[in-house]
Structures are given as C-alpha cells and as structure tokens.
Structure 1
Amino acid sequence: MKAIFTSCLIVLGFFSIAQTKQDTTKKLNEVVIHPYFSAQPLLRSTGSIGLIDQAVMDKQPSASFVSTINTIPGVRMEERSPGSYRLSIRGSLLRSPFGVRNIKIYFDDFPLTDAGGNTYFNALDVSAAQSLQILKGPHGNIFGANSGGVILIQPQGTVSDSTTLGLKLEGGSYGLFRENLILNQQFNKYSFNLTQSYQRSDGYRDHSGMDRKYFQTFHKWDYAKNATLKAFIFYSDLHYNTPGGLTEAQYLQNPKSSRPAAGALKSAIQQNAGIYSNTLYGGIANNWQINEQLKHVVAVFASYTDFKNPFITNYEKRKELTLGLRSYLEYERKQTDLNWKFDLGVESMQTSTDVDNYVNNLGVPAALQASDKLKAAANFAFAHLTVDLFDKWLFELSASANLYKYGYESIAPIAIAKNTNSFDIQVMPRAALSYLVDQRLSLRASASKGYSPPTLAEIRASNNVINIDLQPEYGWNYETGLKYQTLNNRLFIDVAGFYYNLKSAIVRRLDENNAEYFINAGGTKQWGLESTLVFWVIPTNASNFVQSLQFRNAYTLSHFKFDKYQDKTADFSGNNLTGVPKTTVVSSVDVQLPKGCYAFFQHNFTSRIPLNDANTAYAKKYHLLQAKIGYRNLRIGRVPVEIFAGADNLLNENYSLGNDLNALGGRYFNAAAKRNFYGGLAVRFNKP
C-alpha cells in the first residue's frame, strides 16, 4: 500500500510527458445550475453563484464544511473549535458571535433558517449534502429576508437512479474519528436515501472536543405521471466544548490553551463551557405539473431544537419550535424566439422560543437569572418573471413583500405581559439581465435590495435584556460581471464586481460583564471584486499517463468600509469592516492518474483581518497548504475499496480561525490546528 501512495507522489513530476489523444478524450459536460426555480446553464446565470458539487466535496476533508465552502470567492467560513461554525457571504460577521445570521439557507424545498433568523448549520454533517449553490448578495426577492445571500443545499438522495451502498471510515490527528453510511435505493417510481454519520474529535485546543450523531432520510415518490411527493427528515445530536478566546499574549505563549480564569470569572474548563444541541427537522413537498404550462409546488415543514449553553457567566437553555409552509404556482410558455416563465408564491413560518438563563455553577444550572418567551413570525409573498429572448437575452424581474414581527413575554426576574413588535412591510425587488454575446461569453448586471430584521438571539441577547429598539438592516446591491468558457468547456472564467451600501448595520457589543448586546450602527460601503477560474490543463483522457489535470483559482478583493458609524464618543467612519480580510486567494490542483490513483493540493492565502471596529488590532495574514492522495481501484475479494490520506496546514502556520470580534479584554484569538493528518477508506457498491 505504501508503494501505491509513493508512486502517486512520484508521477506528479511528469505532467509534461502526458499526450492528448483526441479520439479518446471525453467531452467536458456543461455546468447546469438551479438557482431560480428552473435549470439554466451556469454561463447564462444572471447572478454571482458559487457551485460546490459532489466531486469538489470529495477532494476536501470531510470532517468540516470549512475548507470546501472557502473555495468560493466572496464567502468566508470559520470554525472557532470543532463544530462551532461561523459563515459570512461578502463580509458580514459583525452579527455572528457564533452561528449563521442574515443568510437564508434551504434544504431542497425546505427553509433551514427559522422565522427567528437563526440557522443551525453546524447540526448538519458534511455527508448530508450532495451539492451546494451559494447565491452571493441579497436575494430577498424570492427567498425572504436576508442581507448577505442564500445557500441552496441539495440533500443526498435527491439525484439517484441506482441502488448504492457506501461506508466511509476516517481517523486523524487530535482524536478525530468519523464514520458515514449511505444507502440509496430505487424501486421503479419510488426512491429513498438513508444517511447516517458519527463524528468525534478531541480538538487541537484544551477543552475543544466535539461529538455529533446524525441521521437523515430523503424519500421521493412519482405517484403519478405529472406529480411527485418528497419527504425529508433529519436528526442531529451535537455537543462541542467552547474553549473561549485568548488575548494576544496568551495566544502567542500557548495557542492550545483554553480561556483561563480571570479575577472573579472562572475558566472555560471550570465552567464546562460548551454547546448541547438536539435538532429534529422534517418536511413534505408535493410537485404537481398540472399541464404543459402550469405547475404547483407546496412544502410544509417543522423543526424542534433543544439547546443548552453553559457559558463563563451563565447557563442558557432554549427550546425552539418552528412551523412553516412554502408554496408557489408557475406558468411557463415556450415559443420559437421567446420563452417566459412567471412564478407567484408565499412563504410563512413561525418560531416559538422559550429561553431561560441560570447561574452557571461549574457546568450545572443553579439559580434562575431570567426567563422569557419569544415568538417570531416571518411571512412574505413573492413574484418572479423570467424572459428568455432569442436564447441570448435573459431578463429576470422579481420582488417580495415581507412582513416580520415578534412577540415577547418576560417571566423573570420581572414579569412583563405579552407584547408584539411589528416592522413595516418591506418590498425587496431584484432586476437582472444576462446577455450571451456568443457561445463562449456572457455579460450580466443586476440590482437588488437586501433587508434583514434582527434575529431573536439579537433581540434577546446574552445580557438577558429584550431590546425592542433594535431595527432591521437594509441596503442596495449593484453588480456586474462576465463569464467566459471555451467551446469544449476546458476553460471557465467568472468575474464579478459589486457595490453594496448597507444601512443601519446590526453590530455586536459587549457590556462590562462580558455579556453581549446588539445595536444599529450607521452602515457600510462595500466595494468588491471576485473571480473564479477553472482550467483543465489536461482534459480527461483514459489513455494518458496523467489522465486529467485541473487547476482552480478563486480570488476575492474586499474594499469594505464603515460609513457614518459612531459608537458613543468614538467615530469609526472610514475604518475597515471588522472581521473581513481585504484579499483572499484559494488555488488548487487536481490530478487523476492511472489505476485510480489521484492527488489533490490546495493553497489558501488570507490577508490580515481587523479584529475590532477601531482597527487597533489585527490578526496576521496566513498561508494554508493542504494535500490529499488516494487510490480507488483497490479490491478486497469482490469488494471495491478506496483508500486515502491527507494533511492540513502543512506549513504549520500559527493562525486564528474564528476570531472573537470586538472582544472584551482583547480576547480575540481562537487558535486553529497546527499541522495535522487524516486517512481512511471508503467502500461503495453500485447496482444499476
């Protein structure tokens, strides 16, 4: 086995000897996406869309989404410790001490983001997704309130025409162990998927262990020639410890340490700081093709989360229940030179949250500090028109009318009767066009409005005060770009430039007790440039020694500044936007060799990152290098087996991933793992 991996490394030095034989070269398929109700070639899309398919995910470490999602320009994902995700699209992390906010996420036809504006993205296992489409910039026109963007996740099993059984086992540094089982079964008009996984890790830092059990099932039944029923359920049991932020001196002295005790405050270990989260989610969707022109889709869904968070200063318990519906009617006409489609729909959901805070007595809840009940209702109606003229001009006009309100009731320490706070109805339009110059080049432009009301976790933050003065953030995004691909799809280039002017930006603050609260603080002016390049240096050709060689590059330039931003007596106008690196460059090389041997290398450069609004503290720039090699054609008896090994942070960089922004006492830093390794095997049976 060692000889196989050695051979894979040796042959990387001989790319130049590969000869292309045109008669055996496979034609590269055109990339097709489904961002706005229907399929369209990526070349003709009107927006900036990042696509992550199964092939891309297979090359990345499977223990986390971080490395995979960060291959998309304009998108930044962080992990303060295993399981503790933070995610931003085009630069908004000020609202997210942890988790995902001001981004809307869908699992197939079902919204994963609740009515309160929160998304438990870390509840998902990587194996749950078959592909992701990331729509950058505000897309409230058909997806409801968001100021950052939208992520559309295609679950495992949604595309399946065979019976598949797969098992994957993986182990690595810092106690990593991961097991994943996938079953796809096709019975004529009925198919189903079962996905199960278990993952645990001790973590790089002290008190940073995690443990997740995950189960998912997806069912599809074509019960009539013109109708399909889908059912989807997942259950996640997640626990991870939170080691806490370090000051720069502590970080440089011992980056593996957790937050120590300070004065009257106990340490993260003493308080057993961590997250305990159990989530059950389910939904049913029906797709009815009424006739050749008319289609109706309806989805109903529900979720329940039991959340516990022992923290340094308190112990929080939350119970959250969400119920919702999404439905739309679509009318389509296809003519010789003019195709058009009109969608009209609604989405309505409600989330009820019971939240209690206790004194944290060494990881055990003690005296009750505060108890509140909150209820959020997010409702919107939307309309979407697509016009395709001469297969060259693609026009999209869409808008939604959004109504958001929340109710609150305090039980302790002071009882407050039920109250409701409603925001004005907001109309979020989007106008976009794409022009196909020829079969290789397309140009596009768009304008869209973003709007994001405060989440329940911001209205009632960890200072246990219900902030009824907090207002939504909003703004206009203007964008233009071009896409170019060669006729044989060997080269693809996507370049986008945008300007986003965000108003009433919601930002996080900490009080003297290290409890967080949120305020509206002026706005931001965000100029950005993003580019994607995919080049098949050697197209797929089974007769070559190097059977394929693909190069990818993602470049992000973020010139993001605060605008008219004053906090008490400090004026931060003109400062760099906190938490956003100015430049990010991610490049990779994927090599396929004879007999199922492959190698993958990726480099990530991230420039320095401002850690506070005053721009007086920065995280240093860093270079990350990772590699993965494997062999697919191993057989044990009649069982096909793939073996692989990989390494991350090969340069052994000391860097912080998931900085605590504007942290009290300068505790900004959450050290990421130094050089680490993983390896495993995968078994997969396919029956046509």
Structure 2
Amino acid sequence: MGNKFNISVSLLLFVSFAAYAQRDTLPEVVVRSYLSKESLIRVPTATSILSGAQLQQQQGYSLVPAFNTIPGIRMEERSPGSYRLSMRGSLLRSPFGIRNIKIYMDEIPLTDAGGNAYLNLLDPGAVTDAEILKGPDGSLFGANSGGVIRLGVFDPPQDSSLRIRLQGGSYGLFHSSAAYSKQLDNYRLQLFMGYQRADGYRQNSALKRIYAQTAQQWEYKPGYNIKLLAFYTDMAYRTPGGLTLEQSIANPRAARVQSLTQQAAIYNRTFQGGLVHEAQISSRWKHTIAVFGANTHFENPFITNYEARDENTAGFRTFLEWQNAENPIRLKFNAGMEWQRTGSDIANYGNRQGVRDTLQVRDEINAGQHFYFARFSLQSDRSMLEGAASLNYYHFVFDRNGRTRIEFKPVLMPRLSYSYRLEDDLSLRVTVSRGYSPPATAEVRASNNVFNTSLQPETGWNYETGLRYLPRTGRYMLDVALFHYRMQNAIVRKLDDLGNEFFDNAGGTRQTGLEVQGSVWLCRKLELRSAYTFSIFKFDDYTVAGKDYSGNDMTGVPQHVVVTSVLWHLPYAFSLFAQHNFTSSIPLDDANTVYAKRYHLVQGKISWQHSRITLQAGVDNVLNEKYSLGNDLNALGGRYFNPAPGRNYFANATFSF
C-alpha cells in the first residue's frame, strides 16, 4: 500500500490542481551544457535543472536533499562530508566518492583523469545552480555511463553585494559563509568563503571544512570574455564505518569498533583553478578554450592501513562552433577535444591508531585521457535533430619493479537525438547513446595494493524516449523519461578475507527506468513539486566468486522513490517549505538476502525575509525515522548499515548589504 499511496498522491495532486494555477509569463528556461545556450523545451535529451531558488529552499549545509529531488539521482551522506552520488543506478563500484559520472564547474572538469570527483570539497553555498544530463552522454564530455553534471558558480550580474550567512543546528553543526560580488563596467568579481564544522550523529563522524573560491569574468571587448575560476579547500572528516543490523538497533550512534580504534578519517587539501576564454569571432563562429589544473594532498587512515596520496592534474578543453541561424533550417556544428593527465604518488603505511607506521608499498601512477568530439544539429521551428560522437583514449602508467602501461582501445561514443514540438510548449524526444566508463585509478590500484591489469571498462547502449511540457507562463511543468540501458562488463567492488577491497568485472545489467518530474502553482502563493523514479534494474549474466546472480535486483537501487515538496508564501514576508522523500526497500547484497527497509523522510522550514535580513528555522527527519543513508553494499560481516540522524534542527540568518 505504501508504494502505491505515495505515487498516486503525487500524481493526483499534480493533475488535480493544474487548472487553478495563475502565473505571469517567465523568461525561457535555457540549458548551457551543450556548448551553447539551448531552450530546454527543444533539448532532445533527459536534462534536469536545479535552479538557485530550489537550492536555497533546502537547509543549506548539504547538497543531498536538493539533488535527491531530481528523478534518477540518488545522493547519500553516510556521515557529514562523506558523499556518494549515483545517476540511474549502480553504486557497486563506489565504496565512497563519485565514479561513473562526469562533473564540471562551468567549463572546467571537477572529475580528474583517473575518474574521481571530489564533490564534497565544495561548500554548498558556492554552487549557484546545476544542470543534470542523465544517461550516457560521452559524445561531448568523454567517458561516463551515468551522466554529466554541470555546476554553476557565477551569480547574476549586480553592481555590488555582500551576503553573510550564519547557521547552527543539532549535533554541533555550525556553518558560516560570506559572498561578495562587484560589477565594474565589463569586469565582474565574485569572492566566496565558507567554514563548516559538525560533531556528527555517530561516534567518529566529525567534520571540518574551510573553503575559499573566486570567480571572475572580464569582457575585454564585445563578444570576447575571459573567466577565472579557482578554489581552495582544507577538509577533514571522520568515518564511523558500517554496523550490523543488531548493532544499529542497539546503538545507532555507535561507530564500528575498528574505525574508532584506528581513528578512520579522510583529510583532503585541494587547490584547483582554471581560465576560460570565449570568443564570438563573428555571428557564425565562436571559439572556447579552457586550461585548468589541480593539486590534492589526500590522507586516509583506515582500518587496514594508512594511505597518503599526492595528486596533480593538468588539462585543457577547447571547441569551435559554427552556426547558420538565418535559414528556415538552422544548422550548428561543433568540434573540439579535451585532454587531461593526473599523476598520483601513493604510499600505504601501517595504521597505528591514526598515526602512520611502517611503509608497506609506494607507487607512482599516471592516468591519461583525451578525446575528440563533434556535434551537429539541424533545427526547424518544430523539430531538432542532433548527432554527436567522441573518440576516447585512456591509459594508466605505473611504476613498481619496472614500468607497466595499461592502455585501453580507443572507443567511439555516439549519440543520436531527435525532438519534435507537438505544440509550442510540448515536445517529444528520442535518444540512442553509448555508455563507456573505464576503471578509475582507485579501482586499478585498490586498497589491497595490487595492480589489476585485467580490469576492463564498462560499456553499454541506452535507448530513451521522453515528453516535456513547459509552458512559458511557468504555471506548471512536466517531464517524463523512459529508458532502457544494457551494460556489459560491470565493475564491482569485492572484499578479501582481511577487509581489503578490490574490483572485478562481473557481467552485465539490464536497467529499465521511468522518471517523472512535475511542478504546479496551485495559486499565486503555493507551489507543489514532485518527482518519481521507478527502477527495474536487474543483473544479467552476472557472476561473482562462482555464484550466479543473474535475474536478481541490482544491489543498492530502490525500486520506487517519490520526492514531493510544497512552498507556501504567507503574509508578512513569511514562507513555509516542506519536503517528503519516500524510498522503497533497497537490496544490500547481490544475493538479495538483505534489504534496507523503506523509509519516509520529512523536512520542514519556515522563513521570514524583510529588507536585507532573512531568518530561517527548520527540522529534518520530522518523523524521527530509523534509516541508513549510505549503505555499505556486500559488506563483510554483515556491516551494511550507516544509521542517519534522527529528528534534528537548524536555524540560520542571512544579511545582505
């Protein structure tokens, strides 16, 4: 009953009240990720937008609730700062961090050449918006089989502003930030600084992060822009480790004994920056080039060892655009390339209660990737046909008792998409695309300190259709996507008898999904938003350690997720925001013998805004649900569960000058 009730209520509310909505005409929604601005109603792929307003509706100290409002996205936080993110499926190869997804900040990749993205480095307040391209889209962005996320970092132009925010909450939460923006003729300066600390709900789960960012833009002559983006993070958080079901019931705030004894933690100091030059050479020709680099010092005292890494990344991305917008059939063509290298100096020591002990092994690994891409589109008043492809090259070079090179065969990743406007505000789309994801550095050389030279990339084909209803009035919107993805050579995480991890190719998957996202203004003061994800993800010809799991549900994927929110603008500058997340049960092992129970997560917030002051107070997990947000899949000893906080509170004040 629970699943059907939540789905029915969300869809019924959306349909029932649409007729009563009244809004003024809004600016056209555009997407920037496809190399130039495109109207969302015309974009022929599954694209979702997290606007700045939607981000600000959330509690502000974590990106998790906001990203989970997008169907097909599952973001987890096992303890403060410990993010995991999956798009349309598998967390099997992500014990922590983010793999299988390509992330950009403006035109600069946050994902390094080794396939890793440290999303948790960012202060949530520094992100202005996000565009999510769901499904394999390597045709323009290189290897991925999940999708692409493009984070916005530039605020809208304004003469001058200073925004200071102070926030506190349960379990020792304190978050402060200051953002300064200044417009001087054709030059725009943005500075952001943030500090966050939390004791955490569980033992050994404290977080501290210091973040500084600058974003600058200079139009030195009409049509010619230089953008600078740079940030520095010093972050440390502890990892409490998974518990068995019995342990999580007896004391959900406990840490795993070994995690506590060994002072398991993550320490990360990263500087990353880049320059972007955009040149509108003529009405038909445009050129963009970005150069970027990053330096990371990473330490991870873990239960079995103490790992220290120094990583250096350098790269560039460039593309040329030609368009003919005068004819009835508008043509656009892009061609470009992206190149990256990440060198890692990795050392593993013994761990003596959080202190480095004897050196066990030291390695140098260089990950390299480059790809060439091209895209064309033909547009008429009603239709858009788009074809794109990239040719991808990946390799690893490591030194241990000699020099070894792992080089993968070049892979072509095509995409063909078509959209047709049935009405001015209603479009139908179809897409066929190929997914390709080579193993990440942390998979080729996992915590067992063995180089896996036989690990192969994941590949697959995605078939998709969708419907998008987006009236210019902004009164309501509806976006529906239906897809089927067949993946081969799935990369999965395994554990040896000592708890060290390693990775292997286990077979394939069949992933069929339905994603529905909608919003409606019930009146001028009341907005309802809802998202539904239905996932039938099955193993296909899937064997691990001699056991055949073909036909089983894919580990870590709930079949149903419904997220519904209400925003109500009240008199006297007050507003109420409430959000409900229903997630059905989740298989925690490949054999489907253990499931995390379904849960209802409710949060609420009241706000008051007057002149230059905004005050907010809210509560998370109103129902005091007992649930795990970030399960350890196929965990050794049945330690699957990372209990999330019970009912907790927060409040903040924002001052604008």
* 2:298 equivalent to 1:307: yes
Task: Map residues 551-570 of structure 1 onto 2, 5 A cutoff.
Answer: 551-570=528-547
2:260 aligned to which of 264, 269, 272: 269
* 2:432 equivalent to 1:450: no
Kept in 2, the 8 Å contact 1:30–1:489? The answer is no
Q: Distance in 2 between matches of 1:33 and 1:645?
A: 33
Q: Distance in 1 between matches of 2:469 and 2:224?
A: 37
Q: Describe the superposition over 1:454-503 as per-residue Cα deviations: whole angstroms up to 9, x where unpaired.
A: 00000000001010110100000000010123452312111110000000
2:425 aligned to which of 429, 440, 449: 440
**1:335 Cα deviation after fit:** 2.1
* 2:487 equivalent to 1:489: no
Q: Distance in 1 between matches of 2:310 and 2:66?
A: 31
Kept in 1, the 8 Å contact 2:101–2:144? The answer is yes
What does residue 8 of structure 2 align with? none
CA 1:612 to 1:185, structure 2 compared with 1: closer, same or farther past 3 Å?
same
What does residue 605 of structure 1 align with? 582
2:489 aligned to which of 500, 504, 513: 504
Q: Distance in 2 between matches of 1:117 and 1:566?
A: 25
What does residue 334 of structure 2 align with? 343
Q: Distance in 2 between matches of 1:244 and 1:518?
A: 20
Q: Could you tell me the percent identity over the aligned residues? A: 48
* 2:234 equivalent to 1:244: no
What does residue 115 of structure 1 align with? 113
Task: Map residues 243-642 of structure 1 onto 2, 5 A cutoff.
Answer: 243-260=240-257, 267-389=258-380, 391-410=381-400, 416-486=401-471, 488-539=473-524, 548-633=525-610, 640-642=612-614
Kept in 2, the 8 Å contact 1:480–1:497? The answer is yes
Kept in 2, the 8 Å contact 1:28–1:490? The answer is no
* 2:203 equivalent to 1:206: yes
**1:128 Cα deviation after fit:** 1.6
Structure 1 unaligned spans of 5+: 1-19, 261-266, 411-415, 540-547
> Which letter maps to 1:104?
K
Q: Distance in 2 between matches of 1:417 and 1:32?
A: 52
- SS of residue paired to 2:97: coil
Task: Map residues 21-40 of structure 1 onto 2, 5 A cutoff.
Answer: 26-40=24-38
- SS of residue paired to 2:409: coil
1:160 aligned to which of 157, 174, 178: 157
Q: Distance in 2 between matches of 1:581 and 1:142?
A: 30
What does residue 636 of structure 2 align with? 664
Q: Distance in 2 between matches of 1:292 and 1:50?
A: 29
Q: Distance in 2 between matches of 1:550 and 1:21?
A: 9
CA 1:332 to 1:675, structure 2 compared with 1: closer, same or farther past 3 Å?
same
Q: Describe the superposition over 1:570-598 as per-residue Cα deviations: whole angstroms up to 9, x where unpaired.
A: 11000100000000000000011223211
> Which letter maps to 2:180?
L
What does residue 17 of structure 2 align with? none
> Which letter maps to 1:644?
Q
Q: Describe the superposition over 1:610-648 as per-residue Cα deviations: whole angstroms up to 9, x where unpaired.
A: 001111110000000000101001x6xxxx211000110
> Which letter maps to 2:192?
T
Kept in 2, the 8 Å contact 1:356–1:372? The answer is yes
Please, what TM-score do these two structures have when normalized by structure 2?
A: 0.96
Kept in 2, the 8 Å contact 1:256–1:671? The answer is yes
Kept in 2, the 8 Å contact 1:662–1:668? The answer is yes
1:140 aligned to which of 138, 141, 153: 138
> Which letter maps to 1:387?
L
- SS of residue paired to 1:269: helix
Q: Distance in 2 between matches of 1:299 and 1:75?
A: 28
> Which letter maps to 1:31?
V
Kept in 1, the 8 Å contact 2:24–2:473? The answer is no
* 2:141 equivalent to 1:169: no
- SS of residue paired to 2:240: coil
What does residue 178 of structure 1 align with? 175
> Which letter maps to 2:346?
V
Kept in 2, the 8 Å contact 1:439–1:487? The answer is no
What does residue 130 of structure 1 align with? 128
> Which letter maps to 2:605?
K
What does residue 543 of structure 1 align with? none
What does residue 10 of structure 1 align with? none
Q: Distance in 2 between matches of 1:569 and 1:275?
A: 34
Kept in 1, the 8 Å contact 2:608–2:614? The answer is yes
Q: Distance in 2 between matches of 1:326 and 1:279?
A: 21
**1:169 Cα deviation after fit:** 0.3
- Of residues 468-477 and 220-229 in structure 1, the stretch that sits farther from structure 2 once superposed is 220-229
Q: Describe the superposition over 1:594-614 as per-residue Cα deviations: whole angstroms up to 9, x where unpaired.
A: 232110000000000000111
Q: Distance in 2 between matches of 1:55 and 1:324?
A: 33
Q: Distance in 1 between matches of 2:339 and 2:437?
A: 16
Q: Describe the superposition over 1:77-102 as per-residue Cα deviations: whole angstroms up to 9, x where unpaired.
A: 00010000000000110110000001
> Which letter maps to 2:220?
Y
Q: Distance in 2 between matches of 1:97 and 1:582?
A: 21
Kept in 1, the 8 Å contact 2:341–2:366? The answer is yes
- SS of residue paired to 1:437: strand
- SS of residue paired to 1:425: strand
Kept in 2, the 8 Å contact 1:479–1:499? The answer is yes
Kept in 2, the 8 Å contact 1:127–1:156? The answer is no
Q: Describe the superposition over 1:309-330 as per-residue Cα deviations: whole angstroms up to 9, x where unpaired.
A: 0011110000000000000011
**1:421 Cα deviation after fit:** 1.1
- SS of residue paired to 1:595: coil
What does residue 13 of structure 1 align with? none
**1:21 Cα deviation after fit:** 12
Q: Distance in 2 between matches of 1:620 and 1:215?
A: 39
**1:290 Cα deviation after fit:** 1.2
Q: Distance in 2 between matches of 1:21 and 1:315?
A: 58
CA 1:487 to 1:274, structure 2 compared with 1: closer, same or farther past 3 Å?
closer
CA 1:574 to 1:145, structure 2 compared with 1: closer, same or farther past 3 Å?
same
> Which letter maps to 2:251?
N
Kept in 1, the 8 Å contact 2:24–2:474? The answer is no
Please, what TM-score do these two structures have when normalized by structure 1?
A: 0.92
Q: Distance in 2 between matches of 1:162 and 1:52?
A: 25
Q: Distance in 1 between matches of 2:184 and 2:36?
A: 26
Q: Describe the superposition over 1:154-202 as per-residue Cα deviations: whole angstroms up to 9, x where unpaired.
A: 1144x32331110000000000000010001000010110010000000
Kept in 1, the 8 Å contact 2:21–2:522? The answer is no
Q: Distance in 2 between matches of 1:605 and 1:111?
A: 33
Q: Distance in 2 between matches of 1:677 and 1:70?
A: 20
Q: Distance in 2 between matches of 1:291 and 1:132?
A: 29
Kept in 1, the 8 Å contact 2:382–2:420? The answer is yes
Q: Distance in 2 between matches of 1:94 and 1:125?
A: 27
Q: Distance in 2 between matches of 1:30 and 1:253?
A: 53
* 2:216 equivalent to 1:216: no
Q: Distance in 1 between matches of 2:487 and 2:337?
A: 26
Kept in 1, the 8 Å contact 2:21–2:523? The answer is no
Kept in 1, the 8 Å contact 2:533–2:560? The answer is yes
Q: Distance in 2 between matches of 1:39 and 1:486?
A: 19
Q: Distance in 2 between matches of 1:354 and 1:287?
A: 35
> Which letter maps to 1:217?
T
> Which letter maps to 1:176?
L
Q: Distance in 2 between matches of 1:665 and 1:568?
A: 17
**1:205 Cα deviation after fit:** 0.5
Q: Distance in 2 between matches of 1:178 and 1:481?
A: 40
Kept in 2, the 8 Å contact 1:156–1:195? The answer is no
Count, aligned residues: 639
Kept in 1, the 8 Å contact 2:27–2:472? The answer is no
- Of residues 562-571 and 669-678 in structure 1, the stretch that sits farther from structure 2 once superposed is 562-571
Kept in 1, the 8 Å contact 2:21–2:475? The answer is no
What does residue 66 of structure 2 align with? 68
**1:684 Cα deviation after fit:** 1.1
